[in-house]
Amino acid sequence: ETGVTQTPRHLVMGMTNKKSLKCEQHLGHNAMYWYKQSAKKPLELMFVYNFKEQTENNSVPSRFSPECPNSSHLFLHLHTLQPEDSALYLCASSQDLTDTQYFGPGTRLTVL
């Protein structure tokens, strides 16, 4: 285990649903990340938080809304998603922005 947990591990939702993905890190890190991993495509950085402040939004559509209430927790709120948003969503954390990123197991999202 890497010390980064994600829930749920699998999620199926309709295009009109609202759901949230949760990430928790037990490593005492200060930076947290959301990535999207689609089939046959490279991992894509979505958001970066450092000390609870968002430092990066990689042109992500507004139907994805991140929230970082503290350095240990990161959420990704989902609403009005499209089928092409189906993917594995990975959370990662690092001690600071220059340190190694440790990934969670991901949430497999399917949008019907």
Partner 1 sequence: GENVEQHPSTLSVQEGDSAVIKCTYSDSASNYFPWYKQELGKGPQLIIDIRSNVGEKKDQRIAVTLNKTAKHFSLHITETQPEDSAVYFCAASWGSNDYKLSFGAGTTVTVRA
C-beta neighbour count of 62 within 10 angstroms: 8
> Counting contacts by CB under 8 A, is residue 43 touching partner 1?
yes
> Three-state DSSP class for 17?
coil
**What is the x/- site pattern for partner 1, positions 81-100, by CB under 8 A?**
---------x-x-x--xxxx
Q: Closest Cα to residue 32, out of 7, 64, 77, 69?
A: 69
The C-alpha atoms of residue 35 and residue 109 are separated, in whole angstroms, by: 13
Report, in Å, the least distance between residue 106 CB and partner 1: 5
Query: Which of 42, 53, 62, 69 contacts partner 1 by CB under 8 A?
Result: 42
Please report, as ranges, the residues that interact with partner 1 according to CB under 8 A: 2, 4, 31, 33, 40-45, 48, 56, 90, 92, 94, 97-106
